[in-house]
Chains A and B, each alone.
Chain A
């Protein structure tokens, strides 16, 4: 358990979460702008973070910035751009070693944090806007990333599946946008977006590590100097509507292994019961899906279930060979029915709960995972320590899991398959 956790509102729409534990030898700080996903803004927000991570007024080139980070014992400055339900989180993070462990206890923490804040709030400007050189460089990179999405077959299939699962919802929007949109971005347009985020996006600061006493006042001062207006509140919990019929989509790609993704949606709003249900069905190496669909039936190389409470959706993903797609789909549905019918033992339930507890408690041992853990807690409006969540898991009964399972409805089916047949099928089924 961490030694201390606290969360404070330090400005209009600005929250600072601090988790400290003296066992760590490095510190991690994440500063994010959180805003509702809007298709035209999504790639701009992504690009703002990339440009901010390229230079600052004080370190006006990528080389100067990289050299400074290297000098600070290889402090790592990274961008963070991701979707959180129907919202987008974009920002910068820094990790640096604690002053107690530098050579001769050299103090670097304040300098590392100032570097982060300079990148975020004092960017390198030319004629009152972002440096054209770095905007162009990051635009090219954004286009490369759009083109390279296909290189990661798993990620690409998930993105395509999301378009089916969350049709017409913000969750289906690409964070990268299209090549055409990327090309049309100008430094002025991007700078306007940056100013808008500074002014009105929710700002979440999360710090996790050994000690922040010296840097906390520096961060608070920087945040309080921001001019904030019309802050847009974010809603994290937005369950996806259940479709009247299963939506099906099949695409072909030059792949050796087909990716099959099935989505199930639910009205169950108890996140921890739903997590236990997903674990029993397909969240562990002894789950129904793993032991039956993979091990006993040898229908796929992987087959697992994951539940998103923000969207009230469970996604089952698997890698299958083409001739097994139909059989694998049927087998997954059979296992879901089995759980709905209570065909699992108290032991299986206990094992799934224990497995989840191990995962939750192990968050205590990593500065990133601890930070991420409390960010997720915040999306649920809670701040339970991992031990409290484990206590909740351990109290969940078989009947609760059955009742929760029964609320899950088959919603969407997506397959990316090998190209030996030219058929592409869209439609309802």
Chain B
């Protein structure tokens, strides 16, 4: 069994990566002194993977929008009608699952009996059971979930932003799909997706906290069923550099208009992906972070409030978009001011002192994040799915060696006004 220890002396932490003979990658992070165990069993499969081929599919097939999320819901059912939650009930673990654009993961959190909970997790995810009846039954529940999401103006605003930024990329489709698209889902399609993506070669187990590594590996040896290579291929439509539309406006009952401004750029992969993500995050901070001149003048003028946030929305190789979101009485003016500030940064350069301070902030964030067992388990999985050639301690080195000049050179690419879209949700006039 191939075993690798990834350590950071600076942070006094380490975790282990094991390539299990079944094909599964196993990541383990023992956290001395902690009471909890957090585990995620994840597959590199999300809402964007809607066109694929395997040995079984007879060429590429396109599946209904929202099927990855639907599959996640249905995997909790078994042939003997027992619910996975009832099994977890006996171990005391809190179980859940999520589907994003590029990952589906099943997780549990517990303080006792992690061994039994891990067995339950590995067992049910490897045992799909889809019937016409149980598939149809789920449509009402998921339709409710979709409707609930539509009631959040911020979520609506972000969904619209992705539709405006992307022309063909499936990231523009909502993870849950639509009430119409999920109506087309059948047990056969669910099995097609399951067989293609829930292959252990495409999956990772990430577990952190109060664990013993050998015990975890013994349980894996017992529970994992090696899966046959199905020669999975995924297909994505070509995406132009330009955005689909520069402005999109929708209506909802809101107190104050909400907005999302997104800047589109090319996706990256491997170490470059991590570096580009760090640069983008640091540029966002310089542009409109809490210590920036722009943030403070917008706040003092009452054009934004402390609900303002920003993040890099990205998936390795697939999409890369810098997002600034918030509430404002005049989102168009905020957007104009952001464009002007980008131009100023291009000509005057970054504030070097603020840039160096931001490096300290990012270091501090990393230290705080590993205080949390769940954050450790999540991070191992995300870093591993994103890139093969980086570890989750590598960003500390990237940050330490990054120069303001490198960031300045990236402004044109990452914050191009011509490749941006503004999404607004406001009250009907």
**Measuring CB to CB, which residues of chain A are less than 8 angstroms from any residue of chain B?**
21-26, 61-63, 66-67, 70-75, 95-97, 101, 103, 133, 137, 140-141, 144-153, 253-257, 284-286, 290-291, 294-295, 298, 300-301, 319-321, 347, 351, 354-355, 357-359, 361-362, 364-367
**Cβ–Cβ contact B95 & A285, under 8 A:** yes
List the B side residues contacting A354 at CB < 8 Å.
89-92, 112
Nearest A residue (CB) for B87: A286
- Interface status of B371 (Cβ within 8 A of chain A): yes
Pick from B11, B36, B88, B147: contact of A365, CB under 8 Å: B36
Known: A62-B296, A103-B363. 18 other contacts (CB 8 A): A23-B34, A63-B296, A66-B296, A73-B364, A101-B11, A137-B302, A144-B255, A150-B253, A254-B253, A286-B86, A291-B83, A301-B144, A347-B90, A351-B92, A354-B89, A354-B91, A355-B92, A358-B93
**Measuring CB to CB, which residues of chain B are less than 8 angstroms from any residue of chain A?**
11-12, 31-36, 83, 85-86, 88-95, 109-112, 137, 140-141, 144-145, 147-148, 150-154, 209, 252-256, 258, 290-291, 293, 296, 299-300, 302, 305-307, 327, 354, 357-358, 360-365, 367-368, 370-373
Pick from A148, A153, A362: contact of B36, CB under 8 Å: A362
List the B side residues contacting A133 at CB < 8 Å.
300
List the B side residues contacting A256 at CB < 8 Å.
147-148, 150-151
Pick from B94, B141, B256, B296: contact of A358, CB under 8 Å: B94
List the B side residues contacting A286 at CB < 8 Å.
83, 85-86, 88-89
In whole angstroms, how far apart are the Cα atoms of A300 and B33 in the complex?
40
**Cβ–Cβ contact A97 & B364, under 8 A:** yes
**Cβ–Cβ contact B32 & A153, under 8 A:** no
Pick from B34, B90, B255: contact of A150, CB under 8 Å: B255
List the A side residues contacting B94 at CB < 8 Å.
285, 355, 358-359
**Cβ–Cβ contact B150 & A151, under 8 A:** no
List the B side residues contacting A148 at CB < 8 Å.
254-256, 307, 327
| A21-B33, A62-B296, A364-B35 known; A147 vs B256 contact (CB < 8 Å) | yes
**Cβ–Cβ contact A298 & B93, under 8 A:** no
In whole angstroms, how far apart are the Cα atoms of A388 and B237 in the complex?
57
Rounded to whole Å, the gap between the CB of A352 and the closest CB of chain B is 8
Pick from A290, A319, A365: contact of B148, CB under 8 Å: A319
In whole angstroms, how far apart are the Cα atoms of A153 and B95 in the complex?
26
For this complex, 17 residue pairs linking A to B, each with C-beta atoms less than 8 Å apart, are: A23-B34, A61-B296, A74-B364, A75-B364, A95-B368, A141-B306, A146-B255, A147-B256, A151-B254, A256-B150, A298-B140, A351-B90, A354-B89, A355-B94, A357-B92, A358-B93, A365-B373
Rounded to whole Å, the gap between the CB of A174 and the closest CB of chain B is 14
Rounded to whole Å, the gap between the CB of A187 and the closest CB of chain B is 16
List the A side residues contacting B362 at CB < 8 Å.
74
**Cβ–Cβ contact B154 & A151, under 8 A:** yes
Rounded to whole Å, the gap between the CB of B413 and the closest CB of chain A is 26
| A254-B252, A301-B145, A365-B34 known; A358 vs B92 contact (CB < 8 Å) | yes
List the A side residues contacting B367 at CB < 8 Å.
25-26, 73, 97, 101
**Cβ–Cβ contact B35 & A361, under 8 A:** yes
**Cβ–Cβ contact B358 & A70, under 8 A:** yes
Rounded to whole Å, the gap between the CB of A134 and the closest CB of chain B is 9
In whole angstroms, how far apart are the Cα atoms of A103 and B361 in the complex?
12
In whole angstroms, how far apart are the Cα atoms of A148 and B367 in the complex?
34
| A286-B89, A365-B35 known; A24 vs B371 contact (CB < 8 Å) | yes
In whole angstroms, how far apart are the Cα atoms of A354 and B290 in the complex?
43
Which 7 pairs across A and B sit closest by C-beta, in order of nearness?
Answer: A147-B255, A73-B364, A23-B33, A74-B361, A301-B144, A354-B92, A351-B89
Pick from A22, A291, A300: contact of B144, CB under 8 Å: A300
Nearest B residue (CB) for A98: B367
In whole angstroms, how far apart are the Cα atoms of A75 and B360 in the complex?
10
Nearest A residue (CB) for B108: A358
Pick from B36, B141, B302: contact of A298, CB under 8 Å: B141
List the B side residues contacting A351 at CB < 8 Å.
89-90, 92
List the B side residues contacting A72 at CB < 8 Å.
364
In whole angstroms, how far apart are the Cα atoms of A144 and B367 in the complex?
34
**Cβ–Cβ contact B253 & A358, under 8 A:** no
**Cβ–Cβ contact B305 & A141, under 8 A:** yes
In whole angstroms, how far apart are the Cα atoms of A319 and B140 in the complex?
12
In whole angstroms, how far apart are the Cα atoms of A327 and B165 in the complex?
43
In whole angstroms, how far apart are the Cα atoms of A133 and B366 in the complex?
35
Rounded to whole Å, the gap between the CB of A37 and the closest CB of chain B is 23
In whole angstroms, how far apart are the Cα atoms of A95 and B92 in the complex?
31
In whole angstroms, how far apart are the Cα atoms of A236 and B111 in the complex?
30
List the B side residues contacting A367 at CB < 8 Å.
371
Nearest A residue (CB) for B364: A73
